[in-house]
Structure 1
Amino acid sequence: MALRTISSALVRTKTRRSVKIYYVTQRRYLSSALFMTGDQAKNNYAFLSPVLDFDTKFQNISQLERNVQLRGIPVNVHSLKRMWDFQEGIRMTRNKIDQRRSEITKSIKELQKSDDQVARSEVEKLMLLSQKLRHEYKVVTAALWDIEGKVVPKCLSIPNVLHDRTPDSVEEEIYRFMESTGRVQELSHIDIGSSIGVLKCIGPLCCYLKNEAVEFERKSIKFFVDRLKDENFVQFSNPDFVKSIVVEGNGLDHEDPFSTFILEADSSDVSEKNSPNRLHLVGGSSLGPFCSYFSKQIGTHPLPIKLFAHGRQYKPSPIQTKGSLLNSCQASAVQLFVGLPNCVATENAFIDRVLAFLISAYQEFGFHFRVIYQPAEKLASWESLKASFQMYSSHLQSYVEVGNVSVCGEYISKRLLMYYQVPDSSSVDFFRIVTGTVISVPEVLACVLEDPRNVVDGKLILPSNIKS
């Protein structure tokens, strides 16, 4: 019997410390975990400094404006550019002061080689000027840190560039296998599963799989794992937890309790509670742990790096009044992660190959499905393109995503400093990343239960291709 449960109760770790898993909580509105100003770095360790290539992003302001409009993001890019330019103007002022201080220090050293009165008098003047510039440098630096703390986090929310294949507003279907029954299923998958003894829902956050549903979960995962291994993907073992810096590096809001489950030590230590870099429960079969491994590293392995992990995915879902396998808080899933050289043509060619491979695998899996390119408004900020694998819910009369392939280019690798060694060169470059959930079992099982072709004489019938 497989358990699906998320609780807001205290959980004991191996070190006997208590942690709280927050499902709904208030935001703290703290600063960025990914970027820290100089004064913040005095109290918190800065693991890395992301590449802030916003000068490049703001070069084509009309393209950026179109990007955020298509995504439906309420960002005034012109105002953001003005703030960035103002910040960089202050940085330039500070750099000029620092350069002037260096020139004065050099002049003082030269004058101190002479013992005449004029030289000593000039040294005194320059020393006074140096002290004045030192004070100005401190004042300008404090002002710069204050502005950076407001401007950079806003700039970090700028989304990834859109891929040429991403539709503007309407989804684009690129493949369909078989057809749905077309009949309306009055009962939900929970009702059907409970009646045939394969599901037991206790509440919106707790659901048990039983009997044939457990076998379906186990064999479905094995089916796709075997196909990935046939394609020379290497299995990876990931932790279930990541730090806030990785969550934000992935383009998510690390303070949003509806983005990830946030863990906090059961401690009265105020500094720990106010730490900008907390633990998040995301599951080993998700993007975050892969990024944790490769962040701040220079990869020396031949590209592409093709990895996968299977296990759990954890993600808060909107509060439900009734239990459901759709949008469940945790799922058994398979996640792939691919690191590619920084070449758009290579990336596009790999997208075609991985889509062809997954379409073939889903065909062999044996259920009706379709593949669509999601429009810009349905993409996460880190995604430039998303191919969604969907099955039909006869109860909801709509398609449900059961897997996906997402393209994010250099967006994440620049934020988390994920490099690779360029072959036959001493230089390094940023990975281009393709990732995705190959299968999320709860959504698949929900659609399978609602299709009357899969439930015969009160029993869930497993496809012949996954029985072995």
Structure 2
Amino acid sequence: MAKLMQVLSKTVRRFSSALYVTGDKAQSHFVVLTPYIDFDEIIKNKNDLLKSIQARKLKIDLDKIERRWNFFKMIDDHRTVLEFTKTEIHNLINKLKQEGEEQNKSDIEKLLVHVKLVKDDLKNVKEYSYGLEENANLGVLSLPNLLHHKTPLDSHTIIHEFLEQPKPISENHIQIGKSLNLIEYTNPTLCYLKSDAALFEFAITNYFQITLLNQGFTQFSNADFARSLVVEGCGTDYLDKNKIFTLDGSNNEINRLHVVGGASLYSFMAYFAKHSIQSTLLPLKFFTLGRKYSPGSGPDLLNLSQNTVGQIFVATSDNSNEIFDILIEQIREIYEPLNYHLRLVYAPAASLKVGESLKVSIEMFSNYSGKYVEIGYLSLYGDYISKRLLFTHGKERTFINVISGEILNVQRFLACALENSYNEKPLLPSLLQKYI
């Protein structure tokens, strides 16, 4: 056992996670939930998982994660044996005492020595297994979702196009917006919309709100903040300052507060984490219109830190593929009456986030750059997020399939609309004027 302890002490490496907190850290940090992790189930699809890792161009050593998991399970099994042994010895001591403590005194003393050795071994195994447990489970949690069979491995796949590609222009949306007094920048990543641009934002959000309600969605109101637990549960590194805003001065080292905006997947999952609903209520179809905050580089409308966004959130049981296709058709029904050229594409594996299994990008054409710009998207997550944040349904607590997406980014839409409509049509077509 001493040799095993030496091996453990050299192998253990501590990691920090808001999502998975081991027993030793639970004494100083409140544990909201423990994610569902079944690596033995995951590894059954090892070939598909390797394909997902390679296609996403992730630097993950699956064999190393598997070895760590197997080593942790071996130590955990040894801990179980020690606990069983300790219990059995105590039972035997009690039995001997009942039969006659004096006449069994010698045997009882031997058993007491034995149980002390077992307790010492058990204490050492528990102490060192915390690091192994964290190491193994965080390795499993770093694995990406399996790719959907429709996800292209190399380049995007166009599934729908509407109208012809607009003609090139010599000015970009920033120059157009400033010349028409539609945009005022306060810093490179924040701006005010003025005049017709402000009316455009008001009209387009009203249009989406009414159309989504007519399509059977229910409007939802979310908080602007989410904890690190939720951010990590959605598959985002909460320590990456390029991906998420974090409030300074938080005393909670592993579960900080992040500014995400009410129109985000994080804010929806902050509500539904550790939540179980009746199966008869599925599918749930929610949407919210509001602010989304994320680190931006500026100085154009395509890379702002604050955007007005339309986010949908759908929770379903086992028919997520069918519902995903229906949602794509509903997106077409929303956008085509606006009479702008756009296309819908399946995004390639390398551009997907770790939790996404399939993603459809809604793209408009930038006349100035000659490139397509993503103005929205719809993503299929399956039960990847639900297992991490314990979102379930029914008496058996079956994990829910999640479909969510930012189907409208007003500032990105406006950027393309300014270039698409320049010298050809008004920024506010007759359809949007009805919603002002």
> What's 1:338 paired with?
314
Report the AA paired with residue 226 of structure 2. Answer: V
Instruction: Report the alpha carbon displacement of residue 57 of structure 1 after superposing the two structures with TM.
Output: 1.5
Superposition pairs of residues 313-392 of structure 1, within 5 angstroms: 313-317=292-296, 319-320=297-298, 323-341=299-317, 343=318, 346-392=319-365
**2:402 pairs with one of 405, 427, 433:** 433
Report the AA paired with residue 264 of structure 1. Answer: D
Deviations 1:31-62 (A, max 9, x none): 01000111111111111100112221222322
**1:307 pairs with one of 279, 283, 286:** 286
Instruction: Report the alpha carbon displacement of residue 204 of structure 1 after superposing the two structures with TM.
Output: 1.1
Superposition pairs of residues 65-76 of structure 1, within 5 angstroms: 65-76=50-61
Report the AA paired with residue 158 of structure 1. Answer: L
Q: Contact 1:212–1:460 at 8 Å: present in 2 too?
A: no
> What's 1:132 paired with?
117
Report the AA paired with residue 302 of structure 2. Answer: L
Instruction: Report the alpha carbon displacement of residue 455 of structure 1 after superposing the two structures with TM.
Output: 4.4
Please give the alpha-carbon distance, in whole angstroms, between the structure 2 residues aligned to 1:340 and 1:110: 55
Q: Contact 1:366–1:465 at 8 Å: present in 2 too?
A: no
Residue 425 of structure 2 is aligned to residue 462 of structure 1: no
Report the AA paired with residue 179 of structure 1. Answer: E
**1:114 pairs with one of 70, 84, 99:** 99
Instruction: Report the alpha carbon displacement of residue 151 of structure 1 after superposing the two structures with TM.
Output: 2.9
Please give the alpha-carbon distance, in whole angstroms, between the structure 1 residues aligned to 2:348 and 2:207: 30
Q: Contact 2:68–2:135 at 8 Å: present in 1 too?
A: no
Please give the alpha-carbon distance, in whole angstroms, between the structure 2 residues aligned to 1:88 and 1:223: 54
Q: Contact 1:30–1:276 at 8 Å: present in 2 too?
A: no
Report the AA paired with residue 217 of structure 2. Answer: F
> What's 2:244 paired with?
260
Please give the alpha-carbon distance, in whole angstroms, between the structure 2 residues aligned to 1:200 and 1:243: 32
Superposition pairs of residues 176-215 of structure 1, within 5 angstroms: 176-181=161-166, 183-215=167-199
> What's 1:41 paired with?
26
Instruction: Report the alpha carbon displacement of residue 360 of structure 1 after superposing the two structures with TM.
Output: 1.2
Normalized per residue, the structure richer in helix is 2
Please give the alpha-carbon distance, in whole angstroms, between the structure 1 residues aligned to 2:60 and 2:90: 45
Q: Which TM-score applies when normalising by structure 1? A: 0.87
Q: Contact 1:166–1:385 at 8 Å: present in 2 too?
A: yes
**1:102 pairs with one of 87, 97, 105:** 87
Secondary structure in 1 matching 2:23: coil
**2:226 pairs with one of 242, 256, 262:** 242
Please give the alpha-carbon distance, in whole angstroms, between the structure 2 residues aligned to 1:340 and 1:455: 45
Instruction: Report the alpha carbon displacement of residue 460 of structure 1 after superposing the two structures with TM.
Output: 4.6
Residue 194 of structure 2 is aligned to residue 218 of structure 1: no
> What's 2:381 paired with?
408
Report the AA paired with residue 333 of structure 1. Answer: V
Instruction: Report the alpha carbon displacement of residue 149 of structure 1 after superposing the two structures with TM.
Output: 2.8
Please give the alpha-carbon distance, in whole angstroms, between the structure 1 residues aligned to 2:36 and 2:75: 19
Please give the alpha-carbon distance, in whole angstroms, between the structure 1 residues aligned to 2:20 and 2:292: 27
Please give the alpha-carbon distance, in whole angstroms, between the structure 1 residues aligned to 2:48 and 2:185: 47
Please give the alpha-carbon distance, in whole angstroms, between the structure 1 residues aligned to 2:238 and 2:259: 11
Please give the alpha-carbon distance, in whole angstroms, between the structure 2 residues aligned to 1:412 and 1:206: 31
Deviations 1:97-135 (A, max 9, x none): 111111112222222211154433222222221111111
Report the AA paired with residue 49 of structure 1. Answer: T
Q: Contact 1:67–1:161 at 8 Å: present in 2 too?
A: yes
Secondary structure in 1 matching 2:104: helix
Please give the alpha-carbon distance, in whole angstroms, between the structure 2 residues aligned to 1:219 and 1:331: 15
Q: Contact 2:79–2:125 at 8 Å: present in 1 too?
A: yes
Q: Contact 1:260–1:282 at 8 Å: present in 2 too?
A: yes
Please give the alpha-carbon distance, in whole angstroms, between the structure 2 residues aligned to 1:308 and 1:80: 38
Q: Which TM-score applies when normalising by structure 2? A: 0.93
> What's 1:13 paired with?
none
Deviations 1:362-408 (A, max 9, x none): 11122110000001101000100001100001111101111111000
Please give the alpha-carbon distance, in whole angstroms, between the structure 1 residues aligned to 2:164 and 2:376: 18
How many corresponding residue pairs? 420
> What's 1:279 paired with?
257
**1:290 pairs with one of 265, 268, 273:** 268
Instruction: Report the alpha carbon displacement of residue 152 of structure 1 after superposing the two structures with TM.
Output: 2.2
Report the AA paired with residue 199 of structure 1. Answer: I
Deviations 1:9-40 (A, max 9, x none): xxxxxxxxxxxxxxxxxxxx960100011111
Q: Which runs of 5+ in 1 are unaligned?
A: 1-28, 266-271
Q: Contact 2:274–2:390 at 8 Å: present in 1 too?
A: yes
Please give the alpha-carbon distance, in whole angstroms, between the structure 2 residues aligned to 1:64 and 1:191: 46
Please give the alpha-carbon distance, in whole angstroms, between the structure 1 residues aligned to 2:186 and 2:107: 84
Residue 396 of structure 2 is aligned to residue 420 of structure 1: no
What percentage of residue pairs aligned between the two structures are identical?
35
Report the AA paired with residue 462 of structure 1. Answer: L
Please give the alpha-carbon distance, in whole angstroms, between the structure 2 residues aligned to 1:202 and 1:409: 40
Please give the alpha-carbon distance, in whole angstroms, between the structure 1 residues aligned to 2:405 and 2:308: 14
Report the AA paired with residue 286 of structure 1. Answer: S
- Larger deviation, residues 283-292 vs 300-309: 300-309
